[in-house]
Amino acid sequence: MNENVIPPTGISHKLWGADAATRVPADASPTRFAATNQTRVGHDKAQHRGEAPRAARGARALPTEAPERRLLRVHRPIQQAIVVSAISVAVTLGRAAEAPPKPLFPDVAPVCPCESLTKVSIPNTTIDSAAIDPSDGSCRVTTTVTHPPSGDRVKVWIGLPVKNWNGRFRGNGGGGFSGGSAGSLRGPVAQGFAAGATDTGHEGGSGSFALDVNGRLNWQAIIDNAYLGIHDMTVVGKALTQAFYGKAPRYSYFVGGSSGGRQGLMEAQRFPEDYDGIVSACPAINWHRFLPADLWPQVVMVAAKNFVPKAKLDAATAAAVAACDASDGVKDGVIDDPSRCDYDPKALVGTKVGDDTFTEADAEVVREIWEGPRGPDGSFLWHGLSRGTELFALAGTTGSPLTGRPFGIPLDWFRFFLAQDPKWDWTSLTPAGFELLWKQSVEQYGVVFGTDNPDLTRFRDRGGKLIIYHGLADQLIPADGTIDYYKRLQQRMGGAGSTAQFARLFLAPGVDHGFRGRGPTPTGQFEAVIRWVEEGKAPDMLLGERRDQNNKVIGTRPLFPYPNIAKYKGSGSTDEAENFVSSLPTR
């Protein structure tokens, strides 16, 4: 085990939050890889029945020692970081609903005592407890959902306001491999929502749940985390809401970021009847592609035998920002459109960074990280980190001499989901081996985790509305993947105009995975989706804010629906939104 596998410094406050039929070694040949994946026939049908895909039933066994026990010590820091991350982004999302929405059922009151909800009958569900929470006076219900005969246990938490229920249900998402937490209910319940969250079948943020005690893939646990647990929470939450108030919620909403954003889009794709409106922040869609790609910076440094220190990575990012900052006509420390920035780090070669010198080898590592994963023949695999984005989160290093320090979530993906070996040594991974495992991830988990289906016909036809937003300086999930999905959504759903009738994407320049940075943080997105659903008013703009350390607003900027951008009028303060207009980007 590599004791250095912990979250890189500086990302614990960001959201990750808070989500192989046979083992394929890093040196596996393409022929061997292809042979292991022939068993995928019938994969999708089996998943919808809650069964293990055919491949998983014949998986090879590893030693019987429980991987969870063996990895507990190493993964505890990762779990803690994910918890902190989920709280952080819950706060970010919370800004979008500062004012409680107008109640839909005036003077509604519970029709039964909270404690009596333990008697409610819901298929395959045990009501573990129902009691008044003394901290806020709400009714808190804990349930366990199973999918016989698998023996899984999906924990669901529901919060119900005893007073001032607003007539709506809100589902909350999680981060990383963590399905969600009971703590996320407090804010929505205080605003009058009946609200739900779930652990999606396992505790904590480790990916070790993917393997059973015999080292085989636990497909029911994987499916619970990928999509079924959130649906279970929604079904249970709505049933308990109706039992408590004697009325079903008139509207239901889902709010989540990162894995929570993926969970929301998965609901729209698989269970479009669950929610009327969805807010999806920095969504971890294309999971089967971007997550293995998150290990690419480490693969690059191992292959180059050059672990680049944080100071040099930061110098490259700062140089890129300096070179491309003013391309939008405003010099504000933000690259407004990273796709137009072609800065080459060769300009730094020979310059001093602290007591060290930036070398051509350093420049090549940075280039390959920006370019993104490529096959040995140069073929495109996935998007890289954009220029202007912090690189150390995925290209972390530690020690003396420097060694790599991978981000824990993609490392878990390789160890537990792909190699099926908790002891798998990431330092042995070559670019060729990376391509094989990346393709395995795409082939094996695309249907389960991918969340990249652009056909939202059923969601649209029942009146569903969707707001997606993503920071263009996201250091964990490149926004290019979300842009790619939205473009495919437009193509599938009849073009840009037709898609904008029910789904809109907003991009925020200069902010990271936690929507922090020199750029504007989006606000008002939850109110916007509520207005869209209930009043038919589509959001033509989100207001972005910059705040100082005392939380005082020091700048505003409009964020327009993709592909439009905010263009400076040429006069007035660049810290005031009124001095910007919507414009199509120039290429």
pLDDT greater than 90 at residue 83: no
- Does residue 281 sit in the same domain as residue 381? no
145 lies in some domain: yes
34 lies in some domain: no
Residues 6+ apart with CB under 8 A from 135: none
Residues 6+ apart with CB under 8 A from 422: 62, 67, 70, 71, 208, 211, 415, 416
Task: Specify whether the CB–CB gap between 202 and 225 falls below 8 A.
Answer: yes
- Position with higher pLDDT, 57 vs 576: 576
127: phi then psi, degrees, rounded to nearest 5:
-85, 105
Written in H, E and C, the secondary structure of 137-199 is CCEEEEEEECCCCCCCCEEEEEEECCCCCCCEEEEECCECCECCCHHHHHHHHHCCCEEEEEC
SS3 525: helix
Q: What is the model's pLDDT at position 413?
A: 98
**CA–CA dist 152, 222 (Å, integer):** 10
413 lies in some domain: no
Which of 352, 376, 405 lies at the terminal end of a domain, its last residue? 405
SS3 224: helix
Binned at pLDDT 50, 70 and 90, residue 587 comes out as: low
Q: What is the model's pLDDT at position 106?
A: 87
Which of 339, 374, 405 lies at the terminal end of a domain, its last residue? 405
212-249 pLDDT, tens digit per residue, is 999 999 999 999 999 999 999 999 999 999 999 999 99
pLDDT greater than 50 at residue 174: yes
Q: What is the model's pLDDT at position 3?
A: 33
pLDDT greater than 90 at residue 347: yes
Mean pLDDT in residue range 58-64: 32
Range scoring the smallest mean pLDDT among 65-79, 121-135, 203-217, 558-572 = 65-79
List Cα–Cα distances, 351 to 290, 306, 391, in angstroms: 33, 17, 19
Q: What is the model's pLDDT at position 98?
A: 63
What is the total count of domains within the chain? 2
11 lies in some domain: no
- Does residue 536 sit in the same domain as residue 551? yes
In the block, which residue shows the tokens 């991987």? 67
Percent residues over pLDDT 90 in the chain: 82
Mean pLDDT in residue range 64-91: 39
Kindly name the residue from 208, 258, 259, 441 that is annotated as catalytic.
Answer: 258
- Does residue 101 sit in the same domain as residue 207? yes
**CA–CA dist 336, 328 (Å, integer):** 6
Which of 380, 405, 430 lies at the terminal end of a domain, its last residue? 405
- Does residue 500 sit in the same domain as residue 559? yes
Short-list 90, 299, 327, 277, CA closest to 186: 90
136-147 pLDDT, tens digit per residue, is 999 999 999 999
Kindly name the residue from 231, 288, 470, 513 that is annotated as catalytic.
Answer: 513
List Cα–Cα distances, 187 to 18, 57, 96, 343, 540, in angstroms: 16, 42, 12, 43, 27
374 lies in some domain: yes
pLDDT greater than 70 at residue 6: no
Total residue count of the chain as it appears in this document: 587
Kindly name the residue from 232, 274, 474, 480 that is annotated as catalytic.
Answer: 474
- Does residue 575 sit in the same domain as residue 538? yes
pLDDT greater than 50 at residue 66: no
Q: Which residues of 409-430 are buried (b: 16+ CB within 10 A; e: fewer)?
A: bbbbbbbbbbbbbbebebeebe
393-410 pLDDT, tens digit per residue, is 999 999 999 999 999 999
324 lies in some domain: yes
SS3 334: coil
Q: What is the model's pLDDT at position 30?
A: 29
517-572 pLDDT, tens digit per residue, is 999 999 999 999 999 999 999 999 999 999 999 999 999 999 999 999 999 999 99
- Does residue 252 sit in the same domain as residue 127? yes
Range scoring the smallest mean pLDDT among 18-22, 171-175, 271-275, 566-570 = 18-22
- Does residue 463 sit in the same domain as residue 543? yes
Mean pLDDT in residue range 474-489: 98
- Does residue 198 sit in the same domain as residue 334? no
Which residues constitute the domain of residue 341?
296-405
Q: What is the model's pLDDT at position 260?
A: 98
Give the pTM. Answer: 0.86
111 lies in some domain: yes
- Does residue 135 sit in the same domain as residue 200? yes
- Does residue 141 sit in the same domain as residue 184? yes
Cis (ω within 30 of 0) for the bond into 110? no
236: tokens are: 């249970």
pLDDT greater than 50 at residue 77: no
SS3 125: strand
Mean pLDDT in residue range 340-351: 97
Q: What is the model's pLDDT at position 369?
A: 98
Amino acid, res. 269: Q
Q: What is the model's pLDDT at position 64?
A: 34
**What letter would DSSP give residue 511?**
B
What CATH number does residue 272 fall under?
A: 3.40.50.1820
- Does residue 551 sit in the same domain as residue 468? yes
pLDDT, mean over the chain: 87
13: tokens are: 């406050």
pLDDT greater than 50 at residue 180: yes
Binned at pLDDT 50, 70 and 90, residue 13 comes out as: very low
439 lies in some domain: no
283-316 pLDDT, tens digit per residue, is 999 999 999 999 999 999 999 999 999 999 999 9
Active site residue 202: no
Residues 6+ apart with CB under 8 A from 394: 8, 294, 295, 296, 297, 298, 369, 385, 406, 407, 410, 475, 476
Active site residue 258: yes
Taking only Cα atoms into account, the Rg of the chain, rounded to an integer number of angstroms, comes to 24
- Does residue 231 sit in the same domain as residue 343? no
Strand runs (DSSP E) across 245-296, as ranges? 251-257, 277-281
Binned at pLDDT 50, 70 and 90, residue 187 comes out as: very high
**CA–CA dist 196, 184 (Å, integer):** 9
